[in-house]
Structure 1
Amino acid sequence: MEWLQYLVLLICPLMMIFCMKGHGHGHKHKDHESHCSEDTNTKMSKLEFENEKLRNEIEALSSMVKKGS
């Protein structure tokens, strides 16, 4: 029964190795990072554009309120 204890101890690291290999860790990491970076830059540009648009609308509304006073 001593071999059973060793088998149980070896199962965990072996399963981890096979699971990590199955997920393909480390092979496409750089491609994924550059894709995420481009996606983030695109989202940031859209947010900056929307922010500028909202500022212009606020400015226009402020000037309308001042004229009405």
Structure 2
Amino acid sequence: MEWFSNLLLLLCPLMMIFCMKGMGGYKHHHSHSSNDMDIKISKLELENEELRKEINSLSAKVQKDL
């Protein structure tokens, strides 16, 4: 029965290799290009700045009402 436990021990890494290959391996994590990420970051920075301005204007209104 020792051969059976050794067989199971060897099957684990082999199954992991096949599973990772079936999922696409590590390519899935690098699907976005650097340029796409730069564009997304720029859009988020602009949106963040707009939201900060809106928060400041709302804070000023609240201060005036007090």
* Same structural fold, with TM-score higher than 0.5 when normalized by the shorter chain: yes
- The separation in 1 between residues aligned to 2:48 and 2:33, in whole angstroms, is 21
Gap change, CA 1:37 and 1:8, over 3 Å in 2: farther
Residue 21 of structure 1: CA displacement?
A: 0.9
Residue 15 of structure 1: CA displacement?
A: 1.1
Give the structure 2 partner of residue 54 of structure 1: 55
Residue 10 of structure 1: CA displacement?
A: 0.8
**Rg comparison, structure with higher value:** 1
| Identical aligned residues as a percent | 34
Give the structure 1 partner of residue 14 of structure 2: 14
The TM-score with structure 2 as length reference comes to 0.61
Q: How many residues align?
A: 64
The TM-score with structure 1 as length reference comes to 0.60
Give the structure 2 partner of residue 5 of structure 1: 5
Gap change, CA 1:50 and 1:58, over 3 Å in 2: same
Quote the RMSD (CA, aligned, Å): 2.8
Bigger RCO of structures 1 and 2 (CA < 8 A, at least 6 apart): 2
Q: Which runs of 5+ in 1 are unaligned?
A: none
